[in-house]
Amino acid sequence: MMSYHASLDDINFALTYIADYPKIAALPPNREATSDVVEAVLTEAAKFAATLLAPLNQSGDQQGCRLGNGEVQTPDGFREAYRQYIDAGWAGLPFPQQHGGQGLPWILGGIVQEMWDGANMAWGLCPILSRGAIELLLSHGSEAQKSLYLPRLISGEWSGSMHLTEPQAGTDLAMIKTVAVAEDDHFLLKGQKIFITWGEQDFTENILHLVLARTANAPPGARGISLFMVPKFLVNEDGSIGARNDVQCVALEKKLGVRGSATCVMSHGDNQGAVGYLIGDEGRGIATMFTMMNNERLAVALQSIAVADRAYQLARDYAKERVQSRALTEQGNSEPVTIIHHADVRRMLLSMKARIEAGRALCYYAMGQIDISHADEDSQLRGAAQKRVDLLTPVIKGWCGESVIDVTNTGIQVHGGMGFVEETGAAQYLRDGRICSIYEGTSGIQSNDLVLRKILADGGEQMRLLLEEIQGDIDVWREDLAENLALAAIIVELHQSLAVLREATDWMMATGTKNVNSAAASAFHYLMLTGYVTSNWLLVKGIANALGDTESDGRSDAYLTVRIQVARFSSEQFLSLADGLLKTIQRGDDAIMALAVDEF
């Protein structure tokens, strides 16, 4: 199985020219995050991922986690790697210095997380959940809660987990049955949660579980649900560890992939009741939890790209080494060549590479907007950046989650029969990545979120602003880049697909106000169309910004030529799907809802 190498050239390009890191670094809180600091952080993170995490990936998958007496034992080496992770200070990278963090931009924390996930997705899930818990407490915790919990979460000494799903309540959280009864300054919780990632582990001395539960006499539905902090061990006023709380792991799920991570069935209150502390306002639990949920959705999108990138690296290297058949252009008794010389293998590899670069562009753009929403001195720009993130979060999560399935599946195909066996490692990436379109909201949930809660909810205002910005860039590029024939052709394709997306948006607006089911039936295809157009816009944006950079750091013309050719492939192979997607979108729900239930 190949070793992992972070794609630093592509990462730095997306950071600089798509996320616009110079602008992010110029924001007041980020002025110490200079290019030298960034280079040091990314270099060391790449080394940590390659030397400590990647060697544990396949063995962790084979060994899995084990449960005994309510305690989880993680795969060999995982715990030691986590200890080195916190000793090196990685956990606190993007968090406020006042709580013990390093105060670096959010996007740098995201990029190092991409490296953890590419090297070892199962291990990397634990820091992802802690990051979400920290963000939630920063936004909704009381001052006392922040003071008590944040320093230990940010240091990595403690971890976080998210308890939403129950056996009868998956997507529909209004159906949860876990109850919380008020007692003095806390609540006592009783109920069971399933699919709880890293709900139990041997990495940290304490785990802070964020649990949705229904308070006594609360109204039915979502309005009756509140959010609680339920520590594995109770915490004394001085921050020291107290008694064991009444919450435990009672089973581990047997999974298709990410077997090195513990996915737990968690029981709350089997005895006296699990002590929990209200986070935010009572009855506002789902709204409060969505701070963490949206954080996790973007993290899963980045995780998708990370796993896809590792699958691509493996397939690419195999294609350069595997000798099979003569080249079609050769005649007579020529020798067999490595399979990367064959046109169909080239097609597969380029489709993998293009989807990875496009997905990374989407993720980095969103993370850059998050930093602007946090730190720009102009309140209007902060608000606009946050609205852009809100609009694109379901697109990015849904599109990248579908992409990792396509990319890892193609990676197996490149390997042929060797991809179907576990020996090469190609199959693990498909098994691991398959969850990305499911957890934190399936692709269908993301599609409905985009259409129903974003497009229809604001009358299409935020989507209109996005389309206008893309059109404005296209208008500039048509003049400035006209002499670059390869880019000019890409821009024409982008312009045409943007018109298709605009027409699809108009259809969604008109249809959704009359027949919401028809809009929902077409929502997935609309999300995918939006992902194709916005990601290809960002691919061109990065190239255009790099070509206009008069103070380039020496990036080679050869590298930019590769970027242009990948963007060309993406426009020809993926943007060309726009017309077909529009036809499918406009057909609505007629065929989809035609069969009666008993006819299936």
Both structure tokens of 419: 């991809």
Task: Give me the pLDDT at residue 388, please.
Answer: 98
pLDDT band at 375 (very low <50, low <70, confident <90, very high): very high
467 and 483 share one domain: yes
Dihedral of CA atoms 382, 384, 385, 387 in degrees, nearest 10, equals 120
For residue 515, the surrounding DSSP H or E stretch is none
Residue 463 pLDDT more than 90? yes
12 and 136 share one domain: yes
Query: Is 299 within the bounds of a domain?
Result: no
Residue 592 pLDDT more than 60? yes
| Cα 187-189-195 angle, rounded to 5 deg | 135
Cα 121 to Cα 58: distance, rounded to the nearest angstrom: 11
102 and 207 share one domain: no
Stretch 354-374: mean pLDDT, rounded? 98
Cα 51 to Cα 55: distance, rounded to the nearest angstrom: 7
Query: Is 122 within the bounds of a domain?
Result: yes
108 and 192 share one domain: no
- Give the CATH number for residue 208: 2.40.110.20
Pick the closest to residue 23 from 371, 542, 468, 535 (CA basis): 371
| Cα 590-593-596 angle, rounded to 5 deg | 135
Percent above pLDDT 70 for the chain? 99
Task: Give me the pLDDT at residue 553, please.
Answer: 55
pLDDT band at 221 (very low <50, low <70, confident <90, very high): confident
Cα 57 to Cα 504: distance, rounded to the nearest angstrom: 42
Are 482 and 488 a contacting pair, CB within 8 Å? yes
Query: Is 486 within the bounds of a domain?
Result: yes
Stretch 488-507: mean pLDDT, rounded? 98
Query: Is 342 within the bounds of a domain?
Result: no
Cα 73 to Cα 65: distance, rounded to the nearest angstrom: 6
Direct distance between the N- and C-terminal alpha carbons of the chain, in angstroms, rounded to an integer: 43
Residue 333 pLDDT more than 90? no
* Residue at which a domain ends, from 224, 259, 284: 284
Pick the closest to residue 360 from 371, 368, 370 (CA basis): 368
70 and 132 share one domain: yes
122 and 260 share one domain: no
516-547 and 578-586 are packed helices; what angle lies between their axes, rounded to 10 degrees?
160
142 and 34 share one domain: yes
Stretch 502-512: mean pLDDT, rounded? 98
75 and 180 share one domain: no
Mean predicted lDDT score pLDDT of the chain: 96
pLDDT, tens digit (0-9, with 9 covering 90-100), for 441-453:
999 999 999 999 9
pTM, two decimal places: 0.97
Are 131 and 116 a contacting pair, CB within 8 Å? no
Are 481 and 567 a contacting pair, CB within 8 Å? no
Stretch 177-185: mean pLDDT, rounded? 96
- Give the CATH number for residue 48: 1.10.540.10
Task: Give me the pLDDT at residue 418, please.
Answer: 97
Task: Give me the pLDDT at residue 555, please.
Answer: 62
Task: Give me the pLDDT at residue 550, please.
Answer: 73
Stretch 286-311: mean pLDDT, rounded? 95
* Residue at which a domain ends, from 120, 155, 190: 155
Q: Which residues are catalytic?
A: 440
Query: Is 381 within the bounds of a domain?
Result: no
61 and 180 share one domain: no
Task: Give me the pLDDT at residue 245, please.
Answer: 98
The tally of domains found in the chain comes to: 3
* Residue at which a domain ends, from 231, 250, 284: 284
Range of the domain at 552: 459-595
Instruction: Print burial letters for 461-489: b (CB count within 10 Å at least 16), e (below 16).
Output: ebbeebbeebbebbeebeeebeebeebee
198 and 235 share one domain: yes
DSSP per-residue string spanning 218-259: PPSSGGGEEEEEEESEEE-TTS-EEEEPSEEEEEE---SS-T
Residue 552 pLDDT more than 70? no
DSSP state of 171: S
Query: Is 70 within the bounds of a domain?
Result: yes
Q: Across-strand partners of 163?
A: 211
Stretch 215-236: mean pLDDT, rounded? 93
Are 249 and 201 a contacting pair, CB within 8 Å? no
Query: Is 296 within the bounds of a domain?
Result: no
Q: Given the structure tokens 């709900």, which residue do they identify?
A: 199
Residue 337 pLDDT more than 70? yes
Instruction: Print burial letters for 288-310: b (CB count within 10 Å at least 16), e (below 16).
Output: bbebbbbbbbbbbbbbbbbbbbb
163 and 93 share one domain: no
Using a CB cutoff of 8 Å and minimum separation of 24, what contacts does 46-52 make?
Answer: 46/5, 46/6, 46/8, 46/115, 48/84, 48/85, 48/88, 48/90, 48/115, 49/4, 49/6, 49/115, 49/116, 49/118, 49/119, 49/120, 50/3, 50/4, 50/5, 50/6, 50/119, 52/81, 52/84
pLDDT band at 329 (very low <50, low <70, confident <90, very high): confident
Query: Is 230 within the bounds of a domain?
Result: yes
| 228 phi/psi in degrees, rounded to 5 | -130, 145
Task: Give me the pLDDT at residue 216, please.
Answer: 87
Stretch 195-223: mean pLDDT, rounded? 95
Both structure tokens of 553: 């750091």
Cα 349 to Cα 5: distance, rounded to the nearest angstrom: 17
Residue 183 pLDDT more than 90? yes
490 and 539 share one domain: yes
Residue 217 pLDDT more than 90? no
Task: Give me the pLDDT at residue 54, please.
Answer: 98
Find how far residue 81's CA is from the centre of its chain. 22
